[in-house]
Amino acid sequence: MRTATRAHFTVPAGLLLLAILVGSAPADQTQPVATRSDASKSRPTVVRTSAESVEEIRRSLATRRSPTNRSARWNLFGPPRRSPDRVAQVQQHDVSWQMHQNGEPEEIHGQPMMDPSLPQPMPPEAVLMPDIGPASCAEPCCGNLLCGPGPGPYFSRCLVPFPQLSWENLALFGGVQGFKGPANRGLDGSFGFHEGLNWGAPLRRAECHGIGYQLGFRATHNNFYDNAFASEVRNQQFYTGGLFHRVDHGLQWGLAIDALRDDWYFDIGLTQMRGEFSWLYPYTHEFGFEFAIGLRDDTSESIFAGAQQGVLETWDPVDQYLFFYRRRGDECVGGEGRLAAGFTGNGGGLLAADFDLPVADAWSVQAGFRFLIPKEPTNAGANTTESWNVGMGLVWYPGRTARGVPGNYYRPLFDVADNGSMMFKQL
């Protein structure tokens, strides 16, 4: 009896053999599968793709690109590391795309291929970095100034030198806060309202490395009524700008610069650098370290209520060092919460906690506190040096769900600075 492999079939012989097989098969096992063809032609039946062929393609792709290998997790500037679920999703898409390129019917484990009238699969490069923009890493376009705009949602890669604004990573927030510090002279605390925004995007010419940047602003309005030493309303403006690298699994980091303008019975401007390094385990757990270091102090004339003459005083940001644990919600629940403890540069202690809880499709509740434990004994002026901040507010995400998306690597990493993350002391 003559035998032949599938590679040696001629088209008529293959169709004849297929007709015999189909005619002899039970009726409940016959499920013809359509191949890609022109809309004007009928869809012929084709031989099913074996599971061995699918597995061979999958192993080849996994060997060529393995985003979860141990050494890659420590890459500070590599593409964002993905969780095992995300890796499996990408590999499944790669199999479909490879079979499409080979002209094979896209049937995996008995599942028929997509209807040819529907949109066809994108190349694997478009799936690997979905939040950077398809082909932003696959096409070496930006070396040519004559190249046209790229397909990414954030920028036109070559002709336009500035990123386009996107609603996807914008957050608008507002709420209330109460806080106290050395500027309150050990007397009344400050209570008021705040509003602001926080926005993130991929950094131009660094998006292939998964590096993003963020810009944010917060305004607070406090002390609406006179107190023992000041009769003015206290207005503050916080500014935050930084770079970050988000991941699903592995090493995550960020660096930011915070600036504060505080207008009360004094008028000061302070600057600090804030950073965060953490290790993310798949799905939910994160352990990390956060620091804040003062960069610029300021001297201002303090004019107290009823005083005829002011006093020159110098104010400086408090250096803070905290170790934290953060728990992230899954894709369905979303949200996150964090517990932290640490110390200050002048020997004080720090306790902190914060959380972000989605309450609607595009809305979440944010709340948190930070408490500085002074190093001085209670009877030695600790009341004048203690600092604390408590805040709560609503956040609106106009371009995405409040639950977040694990693959969205360019949502801001840092919250905009406030009176907890940016405390200051008198020199």
Cβ proximity of 116 and 36 under 8 Å: yes
* Closest-CA residue to 357 (of 397, 390, 396, 403): 403
pLDDT in tens, the chain (427 residues): 444 444 444 444 454 444 444 444 444 444 444 444 444 444 444 444 455 555 665 555 554 444 344 444 455 555 555 555 555 655 665 566 566 666 655 444 444 444 455 445 444 444 433 333 333 344 433 333 333 333 333 333 444 444 556 778 999 999 999 999 999 988 889 999 999 999 999 988 776 788 999 999 999 999 998 888 888 899 999 999 999 999 888 999 999 999 999 999 999 999 999 999 999 998 689 999 999 999 999 999 998 887 778 899 999 999 999 999 999 887 777 889 999 999 999 899 999 999 999 998 899 999 999 999 998 776 667 788 889 999 999 999 998 888 765 567 899 999 999 999 999 999 8
- C-alpha–C-alpha distance, residues 83 and 277, integer Å: 19
Return the CATH number of 170-426, one of 3.30.110.60, 2.40.160.40, 1.10.3720.10, 3.10.450.50: 2.40.160.40
- C-alpha–C-alpha distance, residues 180 and 308, integer Å: 26
Burial (CB count within 10 angstroms: exposed 0-12, middle 13-18, buried 19+), residue 135: middle
pLDDT (0 to 100) of residue 128: 38
Cβ proximity of 386 and 378 under 8 Å: no
Q: How far, in whole angstroms, is CA 420 from its chain's centroid? A: 22
Q: Which residues have CB under 8 Å from 236's CB, separation 6+?
A: 218, 219, 220, 222, 260, 261, 262, 263, 419
pLDDT (0 to 100) of residue 154: 37
If DSSP codes are grouped into helix, strand and coil, which group holds residue 281? Answer: coil
DSSP secondary structure string for all residues of 66-82: -TT-HHHHT-SSSSPP-
- C-alpha–C-alpha distance, residues 366 and 178, integer Å: 15
pTM above 0.85? no
pLDDT (0 to 100) of residue 38: 46
Q: Which residues have CB under 8 Å from 279's CB, separation 6+?
A: 250, 251, 252, 286, 287, 288
Give the CA dihedral 405, 406, 411, 412, nearest 10 degrees. Answer: 130
Q: What are phi and psi of 202, to 5 degrees?
A: -70, 145
